[in-house]
Amino acid sequence: MTDTDPEYEKHGGFPVFESADPGPGFEPFVTGMRRLQDLAVSADPDSDTWVEAAERVAELVALLEPSVADEGAAPAGRMPSMPGAGNLLMPPFRVTKMAPDGVELTVPFSRFHVGGNYAVHGGVLPLLFDSVFGMVIHAGGRPISRTGFLHVDYRKVTPIDTKLTARGWIREVDGRKAFVNAELRDPDGALLAEANGLMIRLLPGQP
């Protein structure tokens, strides 16, 4: 792709995302932060404990704030060996297939993702599907693209603390447009949600 489009890596100012090597502390840090996210929305301690927790969080912020880096330089999202690629925005998925005919991942949601009645919040699933669409475009050898639209149909309640399977594939290509599909299933194969969308290839210089 770079042979025919020398600006490929610069479309929209996208940084070149390469695997990071932050050292042995990053993975346990992210694991701990994922658990902390769960506790932040599920714990109900006394007021003194909240005060102490806030003080400890402030210490952590002060420790890390001097090291803020540009996009593409921080390791979050650049650790393919870690769940969710080390990105706390994403549920801790693991890619099990990355091929031109589609991608597959296992994905567990946790208490942090609950919308109500211990079910995954409906707004979390478009986030997952949009990420799957990006993986599908990359695996299919398509140039950098942005989402034109994303439609989700919710078929069943999506549970937490369950290893689910997400799949995505390119359905049709029309020039700069790639029409994509994705689905999320439970361990018994039941369809929980499905999505379809449009990914549009960026032209040189487009954001």
**Any idea which residue has 């932040």 for tokens?**
40
Residue 199 structure tokens: 């990914």
- In the chain, the domains with their CATH numbers are 8-201 (3.10.129.10)
If we measure between CA atoms, which residue out of 178, 109, 192 comes closest to residue 150? Answer: 178
Residue 158 structure tokens: 């999506």
Burial class (CB in 10 A: 0-12, 13-18, 19+), 65: exposed
pLDDT tens over the chain, length 207 residues: 444 455 555 555 565 678 989 999 999 999 999 999 999 999 999 999 999 999 999 999 999 999 999 888 999 999 999 999 999 999 999 999 999 999 999 999 999 999 999 999 999 999 999 999 999 999 999 988 999 999 999 999 999 999 999 999 999 999 999 999 999 999 999 999 999 999 999 887 777
SS3 150: strand
What is the predicted pLDDT for the residue at 143? Answer: 86
* pTM of the predicted structure, to 2 decimals: 0.91
